[in-house]
Amino acid sequence: MESQTAPGLHVAIIMDGNGRWANQRGLPRLAGHRVGVEAVRHTVEAAPGLGIKVLTLYAFSADNWRRPPREVSALMRLLGHYLTQETDRCIATGVQLEAIGRRDRLPASVVRMIEDAERHTIGGGKLRLRLAIDYSARHAIVEAASRAQGQGAEAWSKLLGPDVDLLIRTSGEQRLSDFLLWESAYAEIVFTSRMWPEFSARDLADAVAEFHRRDRRFGAIAGSNSRRTA
Ligand code: FPP
């Protein structure tokens, strides 16, 4: 099977550290999430210029429902605002927006905003922006398993999404936290101590430069044509 890597890089980011960034400044956690949205904008803007074709952002994990209801509502509001406010900019800049994750537990208004944003930005060819909302990789894998019965790895990759080339996690934490577990089988991982609200286009460029310095062998040996086939 040919790798599902899209032409251009697939970069996935675990955006972490909003709460700590805010706490360090004596601000409410929500302030960290708000500034985090700005970091999302900078990242999306910078991505195409760095050769990124697919960008997947971990916006709300299935485990995040365990946060206090006020924080959950605030995050849903921020996501809703982002989806509605950014749609025009996405259309203008060729960004195709989509959400991955469960929709059956989201507020109906958020589902509507996701569907509208997806419909209006379809065909954007510069960047495929995937927001992981109520996302759990284990859940996605179990769902794919029920639909891909008897089929090979290619069918699984089609159901789950393209292979991740570079996975970034901010805030100094070094965990995968149930994010894109199948798709990251061969991902290069960059952990940075930068808190997400401070993550800049420069940080993204540094991570991509680090990715290009890595020798991806996919189990082959250095110098051979090691592009993955399975
Ligand atoms: C992790 O920081 C971040 C989140 C759980 C949510 C990420 C959400 C945003 C950046 C805003 C909305 C997103 C989009 C795409 C518009 P944390 O709260 O876990 O920080 P902590 O580990 O320091 O507590």
Q: Is 16 a catalytic residue?
A: yes
pLDDT tens digits along 24-64 = 999 999 999 999 999 999 999 999 999 999 999 999 999 99
85 C-alpha to center of ligand 1: Å? 18
Q: Is 212 helix (H, G, I), strand (E, B) or coil?
A: helix
pLDDT tens digits along 207-218 = 999 999 998 888
Per the domain annotation, does 4 fall within a domain?
Answer: no
Contact 226, 218 (CB under 8 A): yes
Tell me which residue range forms the domain holding 59. 9-228
| pTM listed for this prediction | 0.93
- Nearest-angstrom CA–CA distance, 15 and 149: 33
41 C-alpha to center of ligand 1: Å? 14
Look at the chain and report how many structural domains it folds into: 1
- Nearest-angstrom CA–CA distance, 104 and 86: 23
pLDDT tens digits along 4-17 = 444 699 999 999 99
Per the domain annotation, does 3 fall within a domain?
Answer: no
pLDDT(223) > 80: no
Q: Is 2 helix (H, G, I), strand (E, B) or coil?
A: strand
Q: 3-state SS string over 8-31?
A: CEEEEEECCCHHHHHHHCCCCHHH
Beta-sheet strands, E only, within 32-158: 52-61, 95-100, 127-135
Q: What are the tokens at 159? A: 């159901």
Contact 61, 177 (CB under 8 A): yes
Q: Is 52 helix (H, G, I), strand (E, B) or coil?
A: strand
What one-character DSSP code corresponds to residue 166? E
In percent, the amount of the chain with pLDDT more than 90 equals 84
Contact 95, 65 (CB under 8 A): no
* Identity of residue 158: K
The residue among 136, 81, 74 whose CA lies nearest residue 104 is 136
Per the domain annotation, does 2 fall within a domain?
Answer: no
147 C-alpha to center of ligand 1: Å? 31
16 CB near ligand 1 (under 6 Å): yes
Per the domain annotation, does 79 fall within a domain?
Answer: yes
Q: How confident is the model at residue 150 (pLDDT cuts 50, 70, 90)?
A: confident
Residue 88: Cβ within 10 Å count:
11
Q: Is 203 a catalytic residue?
A: no
Per the domain annotation, does 22 fall within a domain?
Answer: yes
| CATH number, domain with residue 70 | 3.40.1180.10
Which of the following is catalytic: 64, 116, 178, 206? 64
181 C-alpha to center of ligand 1: Å? 19
18 CB near ligand 1 (under 6 Å): yes
Per the domain annotation, does 1 fall within a domain?
Answer: no
> What dihedral do alpha carbons 5, 9, 10, 11 form, nearest 10°?
150
- Nearest-angstrom CA–CA distance, 208 and 36: 20
Closest ligand 1 atom to Cα of 23: 23
Mutate to test the pocket of ligand 1, among 13, 14, 16, 75 (most ligand atoms within 8 A of CB): 16
Per the domain annotation, does 99 fall within a domain?
Answer: yes
Mutate to test the pocket of ligand 1, among 33, 113, 130 (most ligand atoms within 8 A of CB): 33
Closest ligand 1 atom to Cα of 39: 10
